[in-house]
Amino acid sequence: MGYICDFCGDQRSMVYCRSDAACLCLSCDRNVHSANALSRRHSRTLLCERCNSQPASVRCTEEKVSLCQNCDWMGHGNSTSASSHKRQTINCYSGCPSASELSSIWSFVLDIPSAGESACEQEMGLMSISENSAEKAWASSENASGSARVNDMASIDKPSPWACSSSVLELNSAAQVLDQPVGSANVALPKSFCPGTKGPGLYEDDDLYQDLNMDEMDLNLENYDELFGVTLNNSEELFENGGIDSLFGTKNMSGADSNCQGAVAVEGLSVGVVNAMQPACSNGASADSIMSNKTEPILCFTAKQAHSNLSFSGVTGESSAGDHQDCGASSMLLMGEPPWCPPCQENSIQSTNRNDAVMRYMEKKKTRKFEKRVRYASRKARADVRKRVKGRFIKAGDAYDYDPLNQTRSC
DNA sequence: GGCGAAAATGCAGCCACATAGAATT
DNA sequence: TAAATTCTATGTGGCTGCATTTTCG
């Protein structure tokens, strides 16, 4: 309790930035993430008040404490009395909301210091960012929807195809009460979605989707033979032979059991992503960037499945979102029709989507590489705004040819 | 199939500077 | 022994150049 901010090292950290893998106080959160248009896209959420190292995914209204998925399970999964606690999902935000705005979303957080003015307005006044296109986009977006975006939670709750692309500061509903016990709760997967993916209608009645988000699937394709005893030289062969269909039961999906198997397989390999869940469309990035966002791994499964079927060996308490930043997160399989989706009458469309998905998957896999973990968010923040000449840092005041803040060149 | 050229890919190194941590006073 | 000061090593991202691998004729 009371861990200090990674940036200033002074204030108590309250929010967790997945992109930076950093715990920040509210002040530094605003400072760091108002630096430029890219940093403003960083998705943040409250810090787990129990372990103080992982992003909180739920708020236990009974205990009045924000918990990451692991702590949530530890606290609620084993106790029959505690498992009935009502919990709220804690969703991510991006941009640089003011304290009052944060208070409105996280009404349960009482100690957010009040700010006299909009943080964005305040910070932007100090910034030297010129009016580039991104900035204009921000401004226009802010003007267009304004504070209503923050306050109008009810409207956000109703998924809109444009929810992801149009909302710069998307503060999804923080009041999605989870009445289900842990064992069956899909802890932190709001039914938000992005353009390019199937709409909510597809998912709502799909038990498979409720329990398993396959975004991380492709990362494990190389190891399918180990997992399933299926010998495949590579994933191309897997696709060509319809192997993925047989692996995931597309052709003979029989319900929960196969669902569980798939989930276990995925979780077993990408278990490190467990604590890095977040709403798929929690920031203002375009749908495309979200779908290919390596730094925002998405994996959702039930806590019950995780603990009853999974071995967590090899996962240490030191694991953090940064460790899993690029677990090869690919949403490619979700683009278009998912391979395990039962056949429907729109076979031609499905086939096209599938082919597209396969092609995108192959392209993604081709370009995929594991990113390093950022150890010091403060250093990253400085490097992100440092001027360069041919990629090299320059002395302060020297002529530069690249300014990350302005995306312009001085010569 | 073997060969060479071209294209694609991977990766180390460079830069300035704030800062963590060790060493010294 | 603790505090203050000094010194050294480290890490950060974009770009370049070189080495290696792949593709093509």
* Residue A365 CA distance to nucleotide C11 C1' (Å): 28
Q: At what angle do helices A26-33 and A119-126 cross, to 10 degrees?
A: 50
Higher pLDDT, A243 or A354: A354
Report the distance from CA of residue A330 to the C1' of nucleotide B7 in Å, as an integer: 28
**Cα separation, A300 vs A210, whole angstroms:** 8
Question: Mean pLDDT in chain A?
Answer: 49
Could you check: is the Cβ of residue A369 within 7 Å of any atom of nucleic acid strand B?
yes
And the tokens for A68?
A: 């990451």
- Given a contact cutoff of 8 angstroms between Cβ atoms, the answer to whether A3 and A15 are in contact is no
CB A266 within 8 A of CB A220: yes
Instruction: Cite the DSSP H helix spans in A158-223.
Output: 163-166, 200-204, 207-211
Q: Which of A262, A266, A260, A271 lies closest to A312 in space, CA to CA?
A: A271
- pLDDT tens for A161-171 read 333 333 333 33
Tell me: the pLDDT tens digits for A184-199? Answer: 333 333 333 333 333 3
A384 CA: nearest nucleotide by C1': C13
Nucleotide nearest to A379 (CA to C1'): C12
**DSSP code string of A61-77:** TTTTEEE-HHHHIIIII
Assess whether A378 (CB) lies less than 7 A from strand B.
Answer: yes
The 10s digit of each residue's pLDDT in A107-158 is 665 455 443 333 333 433 333 333 333 333 333 333 333 333 333 333 333 3
Q: How long is the CA A10 to C1' C2 vector, in angstroms?
A: 22
For A370-380, what is the mean pLDDT? 72
Query: Once rounded to an integer, what is the mean pLDDT over residues A318-342?
Result: 34
CA distances from A249 to A114, A184, A197, A246, A339 (A): 53, 22, 21, 5, 9
- Beta-bridge mates of residue A4: A12
3-state secondary structure of A374: coil
What's the number of CA atoms in the CB half-sphere (13 Å) around residue A384?
Answer: 18
Distance, in Å, from the CA atom of A135 to the CA atom of A139, rounded to the nearest integer, reads 6
Q: What pLDDT does A146 receive?
A: 33
Q: Residues by CB within 7 Å of nucleic chain C, which ones?
A: A 372, 374-376, 379-380, 382-384, 388, 390-393, 402, 404
Cβ-based neighbours of A220, under 8 Å, separated by 6 or more: A227, A265, A266, A269, A270
Task: Give the highest mean pLDDT range of A85-89, A146-150, A319-323, A374-378.
Answer: A374-378
Is A274 within 8 Å of A299 (Cβ atoms)? yes
A190 CA, B13 C1': Å apart: 44
What is the DSSP annotation of A97-152? --HHHHHHH-TT---PPP-SS-HHHHHHHH------HHHHHHHHHHHHHTTHHHH-
For residue A382, say whether its CB is under 7 Å from any atom of strand B. yes
On whether the CB atoms of residues A220 and A265 are closer than 8 A, the answer is: yes
Q: For strand B, is any atom closer than 7 Å to the CB of A391?
A: yes
* pLDDT over 50 at A396, yes or no: yes
Residues for chain A: how many in total?
411
Strand partners, A393: A388
- Residue nearest the C1' of B20 (CA based): A376
Question: Residues A271-322: pLDDT tens digits?
Answer: 333 333 333 333 333 333 333 333 333 333 333 333 333 333 333 333 333 3
Local structure of residue A197 (DSSP, 8 states): B
- Give the nucleotide with minimal C1' distance to the Cα of A398: B16
* Closest residue (CA to C1') to nucleotide B10 in the complex: A369
Is residue A51 within 8 A of residue A63, CB to CB? The reply is no
Cβ–Cβ < 8 Å for A2, A12: yes
> How is residue A196 written in tokens?
């390019």
List CB contacts of A72: < 8 A, sequence separation 6 or more.
A57, A58, A60, A87, A182, A187, A303
What tens digit of pLDDT does each residue of A16-74 get?
877 666 777 777 777 777 766 666 767 778 887 877 777 787 788 777 788 877 777 77
Bases in strand C with any atom closer than 7 Å to a protein CB: 11-16
Using alpha carbons, list the distances in angstroms from residue A53 to A99, A338, A398. Answer: 22, 34, 39
Helical ranges in A249-346 per DSSP H: 256-269, 287-291, 303-309
Q: In Å, what is the separation between the CA of A391 and the C1' of B12?
A: 14
Asked whether A87 and A108 are in contact (CB, 8 A), the reply is no
pLDDT of residue A93: 76
Q: What is the pLDDT of residue A391?
A: 87
CB A404 within 8 A of CB A384: yes
User: CA–C1' span, A234 to B4, in Å?
Assistant: 30
- Which amino acid residue lies closest to nucleotide C15, measuring CA to C1'? A391
